């Protein structure tokens, strides 16, 4: 007989002991837990699994593990810490805002939430100054954050002001119904259309990096070539899944790293360019201090009104300049 947890949101400092019934056998671990702990989103539960806060018969398992009848599952939900991020009057480009959410256009150089090495100057610090009501689902260091962009990736992301909106938006991410299109300049030539379907996990060599790994998390990126500039291509990319550094890892994996990307091979390709183009490639690379990646389109269904919303962001100045120089060449 299953030991079901209360239907209310779990106490943030509690531990749960669950036993899988015969009727529930073969369910994915993350989906099984979502049914037992309905106050937590699937993404939050997956995070707890990867952080080692969930064990099955005293062993760590992956979210995709198929539970078996009689499995003893322990779930520890860490106690919430006091809010340490402080409000800051950093510039904040708000594209849309209502009582439930806001959409912001993040600049390059801004980290989304406080972390070691980036305790201040983050999007969260700016959000805390802009509004007092942010969802607490993602914890005290990431209030309101539904999804993230890398520090030097520009563009659109949505922030939840309350837990109900957060759950609705997170659910769309999990169902892959949220639209996220990116623009990028990548090294080399691309086919007209294509996809990269390759699992992603932490790199075994450098824990700050991600890598394509056989036993990693399922990840799919679709791309479409917009312009062929010879040694680089302009492309549109669509995320089917949302893994950390997904586009950057996938494009490096297929041999087309994002132009200017210091972490995933985007700054060391000049020697592979046709000798007649090398000086131009080097000059363009020196004029760009980050990866040429921009979150250009964001679409979702408003979690309260049910209205479909879609937002577009123009390329920032540095990428507009890069496009102009490539086109002129």
pLDDT band for position 215 (50/70/90)?
confident
Q: Residue 84: which residues within 8 A CB-CB, separation 6 or more?
A: 114, 140, 141
Confidence (pLDDT) at 171: 87
In the numeric block, which tokens belong to residue 245?
Answer: 């550094």
pLDDT band for position 133 (50/70/90)?
confident
Confidence (pLDDT) at 90: 85
Over 70: is that where the pLDDT of 140 sits?
A: no
pLDDT in tens, 200-214: 998 888 878 999 998
Q: Residue 150: which residues within 8 A CB-CB, separation 6 or more?
A: 245, 248, 291, 293
Confidence (pLDDT) at 10: 47
Q: How far apart are the first and last CA of the chain?
A: 70
In the numeric block, which tokens belong to residue 75?
Answer: 């779930």
Catalytic residue chosen out of the listed positions 105, 150, 201, 234: 150
- The question of whether 98 is a catalytic residue gets the answer no
Q: Tell me which residue of 124, 120, 85, 121 sits closest to 104, measured CA to CA.
A: 124
Q: Are strands 193-197 and 220-228 parallel, antiparallel or unpaired?
A: antiparallel
More confident residue, 197 or 89: 197
């Amino acid at each position: 007989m299953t030991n079901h947890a209360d239907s209310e949101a779990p106490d943030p400092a509690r531990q749960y002991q669950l036993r899988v019934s015969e009727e529930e056998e073969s369910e994915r671990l993350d989906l099984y837990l979502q049914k037992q702990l309905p106050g937590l989103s699937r993404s939050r539960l997956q995070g707890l699994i990867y952080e080692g806060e969930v064990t099955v018969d005293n062993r760590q398992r992956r979210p995709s593990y198929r539970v078996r009848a009689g499995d003893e599952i322990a779930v520890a939900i860490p106690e919430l810490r006091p809010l340490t991020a402080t409000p800051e009057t950093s510039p904040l480009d708000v594209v849309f805002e209502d009582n439930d959410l806001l959409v912001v256009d993040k600049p390059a150089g801004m980290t989304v939430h406080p972390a070691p090495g980036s305790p201040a100057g983050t999007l969260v610090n700016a959000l805390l100054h802009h509004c007092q009501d942010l969802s607490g689902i993602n914890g005290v260091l990431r209030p309101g954050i539904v999804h993230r962009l890398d520090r030097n990736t520009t563009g659109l992301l949505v922030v939840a002001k309350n837990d109900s909106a957060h759950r609705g938006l997170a659910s769309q991410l999990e169902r892959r119904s949220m639209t996220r299109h990116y623009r990028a300049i990548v090294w080399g030539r691309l086919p007209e259309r294509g996809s990269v379907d390759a699992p992603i996990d932490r790199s075994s060599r450098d824990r700050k990096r991600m890598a394509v790994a056989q036993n990693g998390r399922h990840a799919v990126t679709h791309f479409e070539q917009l312009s062929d500039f010879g040694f680089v291509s302009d492309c549109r990319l669509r995320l089917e899944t949302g893994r950390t550094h997904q586009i950057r890892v996938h494009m490096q994996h297929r041999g087309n790293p994002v132009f200017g990307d210091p972490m995933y091979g985007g700054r060391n390709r000049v020697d592979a360019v046709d000798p007649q183009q090398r000086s131009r490639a080097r000059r363009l690379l020196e004029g760009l201090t980050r990866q040429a990646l921009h979150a250009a389109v964001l679409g979702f269904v408003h979690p309260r009104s049910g209205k479909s919303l879609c937002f577009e962001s123009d390329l920032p100045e540095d990428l507009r300049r890069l496009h102009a120089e490539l086109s002129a060449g």
